[in-house]
Amino acid sequence: MNEQQFLDLLDNHLVKLQQQERDDIRRDFEEYFENGRAEGKTTEEIIKSFGNIEELAEELLASYDEEDFMEHVAVMKNDKPIPYRNVDIEANGVNVVIVPTDADEALIETKDKDQLTEASMLIKDDTLFISIKRQEQVRRFWFITIVGTINTIDTVVYLPKKQYEKLVIHNDNGRIKVSETIAQQFYLKSDNGRILTDHIQGKVLDAHSANGRVVLTETNIEHVKASSNNGRIIAEDVMGQELQLESDNGRVEIKNVVGKIHAQSRNGRIVAQLKSVQSPLNFVSDNGQIILSTEGKLQNIEIDSWTAWGSVSIYNEKTSHYSHGTKEHTIQLKTSNGKIMVEDLLAQ
């Protein structure tokens, strides 16, 4: 089997995914082949290192959730007046979506087909506690009995527009999405699912997915920590003082981000596209290339880069060090396996 045959076969096993996701996976594996050949490995050795292709496909599919598989569902609503400063949500088997409302009451809108979703509200002191979970069902396949939820459904929590002290969401199985919300502190955790934020404001954001990507867009948070054990980290149009973006297994993508950035991937590339750099940058990858693109050559900066295996290019020059002006802004780029490139988008 050659590389093209392997990629086509893997794509066939991932046919349930949207085309964009499959294209991203294909590009990742093309890079794995490229890096492997650079290390002197044959195509057969690289393919063998991936293991059984069916098991590989199952692992990849497990990192995606129901938003990639369109489903029409029925709607169940539950509402209650809720005076509070903090929100604490525990969920399991549902996708939790937070959106603002002009109403004075919070509203829980649960969408499912089987009416097996339980949702409740409890106010204690100044905190609203919300519990949302799916009832377990027994499924029988031949001689095997499986107890668990069938699929993940969407639950929308409408919160009155105001500034909250703290918003905490823990989802055992399902994604988390928070939109147009203001809070001093956001703590978002999913054991199996994506975390997405857009148009949120506050002082602290701590978002962690054990299995799924973390996507931050149009976010204005002073201190950001976004991490995933198995999934990419994406930050676009984010403004903050300090950002820590880490993935154990997945790429880190940065676009139009302002602030001091520490980005790390233990297995994946780091790609950043910035208009300018006014704060220190520190990008580290154990296995993957690092690409930093800027709108014009950076001024008053010092760039230090290092790779154990791969080429280094800074503004079309083969050098690992670059400096300009006062050097008040430092950029550290380091990878153990992969090329490093700093490029001027306006020069292309």
What digits encode the pLDDT tens for the residues 333-348? Answer: 999 999 999 999 887 6
83-110 confidence digits (pLDDT tens): 789 999 999 989 999 999 888 788 888 8
Q: What whole-number percentage of the chain has pLDDT above 70?
A: 88
The highest-confidence range among 2-6, 81-85, 212-216, by mean pLDDT, is 212-216
Cα 247–chain centre separation: 9
Cβ neighbours of 42 (radius 10 Å)? 10
Would you place residue 165 in the very low, low, confident or very high pLDDT band (cuts 50, 70, 90)?
very high
**Same domain? 181 vs 200:** no
Query: What pLDDT score was predicted for residue 1?
Result: 80
Asked if 174 contacts 115 with a C-beta cutoff of 8 angstroms, the reply is no
Residue 81: per-residue pLDDT = 53
Asked if 105 and 28 sit in the same domain, the reply is no
Angstrom distances, CA of residue 261 to CA of 9, 99, 213, 255, 313: 38, 28, 18, 12, 21
CB 226 within 8 A of CB 244: yes
| Main-chain dihedrals φ then ψ at residue 304, nearest 5 degrees | -120, 130
Q: What six digits make up the tokens of 46?
A: 């690289």
E strands, 125-228, in order: 127-134, 137-141, 144-148, 153-160, 163-171, 176-179, 182-190, 195-198, 201-209, 214-228
Same-domain pairing of 303 and 221: yes
Q: How far apart, in whole angstroms, are the C-alpha atoms of residue 25 and residue 154?
A: 26
What are the distances in angstroms from CA 115 to CA 75, 112, 136?
9, 6, 12
Residue 324 sits in the same domain as residue 245: yes
Span 308-318, pLDDT tens digits: 998 999 999 99
Kindly give the pairing relationship between strand 340-344 and strand 94-101: unpaired
Instruction: State yes or no: pLDDT of 148 exceeds 70.
Output: no
Domain that holds residue 86: 71-185
Residues 168 and 238 in one domain: no
The answer to whether residues 244 and 127 belong to one domain is no
Contact by Cβ (8 Å): 211, 62: yes
- How far apart are the C-alpha atoms of 343 and 348, rounded to whole Å? 9
Asked whether residue 279 carries a pLDDT value surpassing 90, the answer given is: yes
For residue 102, give the amino acid letter.
Answer: D
Residues 24, 152: one domain? no
Residues recorded for the chain:
348
Give residue 294's pLDDT band: very low, low, confident or very high (50, 70, 90).
very high
> 327 and 204 in one domain?
yes
Same domain assignment for residues 13 and 134? no
- Domain ends where: 136, 152, 185? 185
38 or 138, greater pLDDT: 38
Q: Which of 243, 188, 238, 240 lies closest to 214, judged by CA?
A: 188
pLDDT digits (tens, 9 = 90+) for 6-31: 888 888 788 767 777 888 888 889 88
Cα(235)–Cα(238) distance, integer angstroms:
6
Helix (H, G, I), strand (E, B) or coil at 131: strand
- Do residue 318 and residue 249 come from a single domain? yes
